[in-house]
Structures are given as structure tokens and as C-alpha cells.
Amino acid sequence: MVKQLLKVHPSDNVAVALVNLKAGDVIPFEDRDIKILSDTKSKHKIALQKLESGDRIIMYGVLVGTANGVIEFGDVLTTENVKHQSEKVFGKTETFSWTPPNVDKWKDRTFLGYHREDGQVGTENVWLFFPLVFCENRNIETLKEIFEKELLKQHVNPHQMLLRSLVSGKTEDPAVAEDSTNVFDNIDVKFITHPGGCGGIRQDSESLAKLLAGYVNNPNVAGASVLSLGCQNLQISVFKDALNDINPNLKKPVLIFEQQQMGTVDEMLTAIVKESFEAIKKANNIERKPAPLSKLKVGLECGGSDGFSGISANPTLGAVSDMLVALNGTAILAEFPELCGVEQELVNRCVDDASADKFLKLMKAYEKSVVDAGSGFDMNPSPGNIKDGLITDAMKSAGAAKKGGTSPVADVLDYGEYITKPGLNLLCTPGNDVESTTGLVGSGANVVLFTTGLGTPTGNPITPIIKVSSNTELKEKMPDIIDIETGAVIRGEKTIEEMADDMLELIIEVASGRTQTKAKLLNQNDFIPWRRGVSL
């Protein structure tokens, strides 16, 4: 018989519908029958007891809301009868201990990566072009067109061919749309543009400088060409200071060009093309070599979450995270608005008081800034989240936090700070998918696992984004963006541990360059920095 309801934690007073349920259905569950009172779509929650107004709603073993009126036993939870509520946290409440998973079968495994002089190992080898200020975006776009046409020998996009045939009334030769072929074997060339670097508060420019410095220091980057106008807030000196703070002994080539010192656009672009091409040729000589799995720094991200994300995809990432930590690798859990309600567990898992205090300080400051702007963390769930069963921020957070597994929290970082300690790190980022992913990569992630239940098409210029579906239906509907799906967990066909083994194997294949992510095949290169301040 197909399982219809799931109680995630023994102390929960709600259950998740695993299939669509109809009013009047009677479902045997645990030691009793539950009569379903309202039509309930899969992924939504059913009350396992009668709840009076103000009663606490528990899921994943934590407070995720309170009843906003009477909710009868067997009725569905909605945004009308439930309101967001989370526990208040003031500090550590218990001593934490952890038993790592057995990773004997993984301890001698390796991936083929690009070894950097500072000991980091990249899963990609990228030459990166980016501006310090938005005034240089046009020049970056010009360089992108120049380098991609000559180095990638790109063929015509099939959709461009379609439009051409519609305009001309003639059928174009489909052979023109073959895959791109790189001139160089061991180097990719990528381009970043952004709307920052000037016009906002100085702190935003300093934050952007740290982020861009993190991209240069990321092991997936071989070197960079940096464009500056000259008069902007994000001065070259600010960028260099940020780079020096992250890595005082950086050995990578970083070419910096300042337009107001170089004269005409033509003179500037000529110099950039010549110098960058020579540096790219040298970077192409770097080849993949074996590296232990401890050199993996895996970012943990979710976007377009659904009611299954917290019971299939995210716990699988949590199991992978624990395996990496046991192997002395690094996992990075971000999206602080989606840790609302699970702060106590994370505080207790911090290895020292300083990390616990920093986590709470960052969380409280972030929440205060949101409230001061006239909103709140309770506004975090998107319409798509709510439609698929995530009706409060605490409910969404309790499932999202499962990506971080069960290991100790080794360090806590603010946005733009770079990873220095192996183990599980907490990184303060927004819940916005791309802003958060952008931050994870800027903090050193050389692979990102990105779970989704609804389907989120996004990628990154320098780091592989492995897209993980919480359900099989999404994989079948959007196979062009999903790399691996965890629907077998929902159906009971695989355990979380078995699914995690499959995922770690995929990470090794992607990190070694033997498998390309769907985001890379689609040439998705999203980069959106988090701006905390106002424009001036």
C-alpha cells in the first residue's frame, strides 16, 4: 500500500500528505484512523490533533507556527488558520556531541581538480573578466562578444536560427547549431557584470570588493581581468585591500585596467585583449590532477522549494554534508532568513561561544533591518512555496536547515567573508536564491548543491551548480535543469543514506570535469551581489 502520510519527527502534531487526499478519506495512521476533512494536495500538512486558537504547531520537532483559530483533527493547515511563530533564542542551552557517519569507503577516493599554489583545489579552471563599477559593464559585454566568438567558436543559437527562418521564409541548416568547441582545452573564459561599485553607501562598495576578491581567490579561478573606470566608490585600492585581506600571498595573475588612465575605449580594449589572451594561454597549461575529497568546499542552497524539499532533497544534502565533514571537507549553509526557528539547534552545535554569539548577532541584526524596512522574516515564503505546502517561514526554515546535516558548526561568516576552517560553516546571506549562491561562491565554494521542488533555472560563472529535485515529477517535467532527483526517498524506494551516496558520486564526477551540470550546458552564469544599503 502506498504511504499517504508522513510524520517527520516523533513530537510533531502535523503530518505531511505524500499524495493528494480527498475530504472523507479515512487513512490508517500509527494506531488510529484519520478522517480527512478537506481536500488536501500532496505536500500540505494535516493536523494530528484538534488545535485551539494559539496552540503551538510542531513540525521537524520545532515550533513552526500557532493556530489562528480552531483546526480540527484531520483538517489541512493553511495560511488562514496558521500564523508564523518561532522560538526565542538567547544562547546555548546544552552541550553538543556528534557521531560522524562511517566514511571508510570514501576516505581514499579522489577527484581530478586544478591545484592552486595556496593549497586550494578547483573543480573548474576559469579566467574571469569583471568590472569594479557598473560603468564598465558595456566594455565587459564587448569583451564577452569578442572572446566567446574567437575562443569558443560558438555556433548560432537554434532559437536564432528559428527567427532567421521565420524572417527569411527559408529553412536554415540545423548543422549550424552544433555544440561550441573551445580553442583551449583546460580553460574557460567567463564574464561578470553588476549594478554596483558606486552610487550607494560606501559599505556596499566595500562588501562588493570583498565578494569580487573572493571570486578571484576561489580555487576555480585561474586569474582575472579587472576593469575600473577610475572615479567610482569601489576604488582599485579598495579591491586590492580586500584581496590582500583574503590572501596576502595570492600568486594568481590579476590584470587591472583603468579607463580614465588609458584614454580611448579602443586603446583600453586593445590592451585588455592582448594582455588577457597571453595570460589565458598560460592558464591553459594547468591540468587536472587527483585531489582528496577533503579539498571539496560544497555550498548548500535551495530555491523554489516545495513541501517535499525538507523530507527528501534537503535531508539528502544534510547527509552529504555530514560525510564531507567526516572526510575533513567543507560544507557551507547559507540563507539566514531560512534558519529562522532553528537557531537554538544551530547555536548549540557551534564549537565555541564566539561562533554562537556571532550567529545570533548576525541573525538579530538582519531581522531588525527587515523589520525596519517594514517587513519581516514571516514574509519569506514565496507564493510558490505557499502553494506547495510551505505556509510559514519557520516551517520552510525547519526543512531548509536540514541541508546542514547534524555536524558541529565550525565557523560563522558574514557575507563576503572567506572560508578558513573545514567543517560546517554558516554564511549570512539572503534567502534570495541567486544572491545567496553568489555569496556562497564568493566565500570559496567550488561546488554548489541546489535543491528545488518547483524548478529554478540558475547557474554561476565559475562554480558548478548541481540542481537537485525533491520529487520525480519535476525531473520529468524539467529535465533540462535537473541533475539528480530524490523522489525515490518520498516513495520509500531509497533511504536518505543511499541517496546521499548517489549524490556524492555525482559530485565527484562533476568536480572531475567528467560530467557537466545542466546549468553549464545551458550557459547560465548568474551573479547578483547582495546590497544591504540604500542608493545615494
Same domain membership, residue 247 and residue 200: yes
Same domain membership, residue 383 and residue 459: yes
Same domain membership, residue 500 and residue 457: yes
Out of 35, 66, 83, pick the residue that ends a domain.
83
Q: What gap in Å lies between CA 470 and CA 484, rounded to an integer?
A: 9
Res 329: pLDDT: 98
Same domain membership, residue 330 and residue 219: no
- Residue 313 in any domain: the answer is no
Res 156: pLDDT: 56
All 3 cell numbers of residue 18?
505524500
- Residue 360 in any domain: the answer is yes
Residue 28 sits in which domain range?
5-83
Same domain membership, residue 511 and residue 379: yes
Res 384: pLDDT: 79
Is the four-CA dihedral 11, 43, 456, 434 of positive or negative sign?
negative
Out of 261, 289, 317, pick the residue that ends a domain.
289
Q: Give the chain's radius of gyration (CA, Å).
A: 24
Same domain membership, residue 116 and residue 78: no
In the block, cell 579602443 appears at 266
Q: What gap in Å lies between CA 527 and CA 432, rounded to an integer?
A: 12
Same domain membership, residue 435 and residue 340: yes
A 10 A CB-CB count for 74 gives 23
- Residue 371 and residue 337 in contact, taking contact as beta carbons nearer than 8 Å: no
CATH number of the CATH domain containing 53 = 2.30.130.110
Q: What gap in Å lies between CA 530 and CA 533, rounded to an integer?
A: 9
Res 155: pLDDT: 52
Same domain membership, residue 400 and residue 281: no
Res 282: pLDDT: 97
Same domain membership, residue 270 and residue 122: yes
How many residues does the structure list for the chain?
Answer: 536
Q: Which residues of the chain have pLDDT under 50?
A: 177-178
Q: What gap in Å lies between CA 239 and CA 405, rounded to an integer?
A: 35
Type of residue numbered 84: H
- Residue 267 in any domain: the answer is yes
CATH number of the CATH domain containing 185 = 3.40.50
Res 289: pLDDT: 98
- Residue 440 in any domain: the answer is yes
Q: What gap in Å lies between CA 118 and CA 420, rounded to an integer?
A: 12
Q: What gap in Å lies between CA 125 and CA 286, rounded to an integer?
A: 8
Res 164: pLDDT: 75
* 3-state SS string for 175-199: HHHCCCCCCCCCCEEEECCCCCCCC
Res 201: pLDDT: 87
Q: Which residues contact 296 (CB under 8 A, 6 or more apart)?
A: 111, 123, 324, 329, 330, 446, 447, 507, 511
- Residue 466 in any domain: the answer is yes
Same domain membership, residue 223 and residue 337: no
- Residue 307 in any domain: the answer is no
Same domain membership, residue 373 and residue 258: no
Res 421: pLDDT: 97
- Residue 97 in any domain: the answer is no
Res 378: pLDDT: 67
Domain count, the chain: 3
- Residue 448 and residue 437 in contact, taking contact as beta carbons nearer than 8 Å: yes
Q: What gap in Å lies between CA 187 and CA 38, rounded to an integer?
A: 57
- Residue 106 in any domain: the answer is no
Assign 302 to helix, strand or coil.
strand
Q: For residue 249, what is the DSSP state?
A: T
Res 94: pLDDT: 87
Out of 227, 261, 289, pick the residue that ends a domain.
289
Res 173: pLDDT: 60
Same domain membership, residue 141 and residue 79: no
Q: For residue 301, what is the DSSP state?
A: E
**Cα angle: 44, vertex 379, 466; to 5 degrees:** 65
